[in-house]
Structure 1
Amino acid sequence: MLKKNHVYSSKIKSDPLVKKMINLLMKDGKKSKAEKVLFNSLQALDKSYPGQSIYIFYSAVIAVRQDIAVRVKPKPKKRKSNNSFDIYLPRVISPIRGLSLGIRSILKSSKDRSQQSFIPLWESLSEELLQASQNKGAVVARRYSVSKLASSNKRRVHFAIRR
């Protein structure tokens, strides 16, 4: 585990995007553990790329933020219609919601990676942030697949901003 730098963590704690990441990372109200995980991952990034950890964090979050979401409309009940498949309805989402969805996808993929390869969560989170900042990895591919699905089904619905 890396040493905690109090000046480093107190300066970053006031950032609203970091607060959002900590709150989404938090489990069962244990905020201090979530802070430790995030700050250890930022320090691991800082060790590899000195002075660039916050830049990598921001570029990763911006790279995975979503503009369009897809809602699945279930297939109709058995009538005499030929449509027996699910319909994907694209919708434009607000920017704040898009950032939240992007952060959640980063956290989900890092937790999955951590469980599969038995490495600490902070280490997998730092790797996921680094890959997302370079527009690589599973999270960015998932974002592109959702936008491709939405663009292929855009004839079905007119876009409207949802909150």
Structure 2
Amino acid sequence: MGRITASRKQMKPDPIYGSLLASKFINCLMHDGKKSTAQRVFYDALDLVKERLPDVEPIEVFTQALENVKPAIEVRSKRVGGAAYQVPMQVNRTRQQSLAIRWVLMAIRDKKGRPTHMKLADELVQAYNREGTAMTRRENVHRMADANKAFAHFAW
């Protein structure tokens, strides 16, 4: 399938919250190998989250936000007798996580004109409340899968 990297085995928890998920997220956020910049953006975002939701741990908000964005099913193209069907399939755990991270990052990169940490904080709070761009994305994926339930028997 895709390229296989050993990143999961080598990953160290992030320095402040000791969370592997946060570490993974920072790595995906990172651009041009600038990890310290990515970390600064991430922690600034979590500080903003803390201001908005003072009664919840910011890392909790982050984890829950990603949980909310994770898709349970998605459609995959399957060729059957010359026709390509969109077949709904279960999404495995690792892919759920990487899709969730990718969607959150896409959501904040699409919004222009504000510092990234602000956009990230917004998106996390929104996802935590089950709204926002990344959530919309997940809804659409689920809707697609639902609409193509008829082809579920092609999933093998």
1:67-117 Cα distance to aligned partner (Å, 9 max, x none) = 21222458x97xxxxx7xx6322221211210110111011101111x2xx
Say whether the 8 Å CA contact 1:65–1:101 is kept in structure 2.
yes
1:36-75 Cα distance to aligned partner (Å, 9 max, x none) = 110010011112222521221111111001121222458x
After TM superposition, the structure 1 stretch with the greater mean CA deviation from structure 2, 150-159 or 132-141, is: 150-159
Within 1, Cα distance between the matches of 2:96 and 2:55? Answer: 27
Residue 35 of structure 1 aligns with an amino acid whose one-letter code is Q
Within 2, Cα distance between the matches of 1:26 and 1:11? Answer: 17
Residue 8 of structure 2 corresponds to residue 11 of structure 1: no
Q: Show the counterpart of 2:37.
A: 33
What stretches of structure 1 move > 4 A for 4+ residues in a row?
none
Per the alignment, in what secondary structure is the counterpart of residue 10 of structure 1? Answer: coil
Count of equivalent residues: 141
Q: Show the counterpart of 1:90.
A: 88
Residue 127 of structure 2 corresponds to residue 132 of structure 1: yes
Q: Show the counterpart of 1:108.
A: 106
- Aligned to 1:147, which of 116, 131, 142? 142
Q: Alignment RMSD, CA only?
A: 2.2
Could you say which structure has the larger radius of gyration? 1
Q: CA deviation at 1:153?
A: 1.1
Q: Show the counterpart of 1:48.
A: 52
Residue 105 of structure 2 corresponds to residue 99 of structure 1: no
Residue 56 of structure 1 aligns with an amino acid whose one-letter code is V
- Aligned to 1:24, which of 11, 23, 28? 28
Per the alignment, in what secondary structure is the counterpart of residue 27 of structure 1? Answer: coil
Per the normalisation by structure 2, the TM-score is: 0.80
Q: CA deviation at 1:10?
A: 3.0
Identity in percent: 32
Say whether the 8 Å CA contact 1:41–1:125 is kept in structure 2.
yes
Say whether the 8 Å CA contact 2:74–2:144 is kept in structure 1.
no
Residue 76 of structure 2 corresponds to residue 71 of structure 1: yes
Assess, with a 3 A threshold, how the Cα gap between structure 1 residues 55 and 111 changes in structure 2: closer, same or farther: same
Say whether the 8 Å CA contact 1:63–1:140 is kept in structure 2.
yes
Say whether the 8 Å CA contact 1:41–1:126 is kept in structure 2.
yes
Q: CA deviation at 1:157?
A: 3.5
Per the normalisation by structure 1, the TM-score is: 0.77
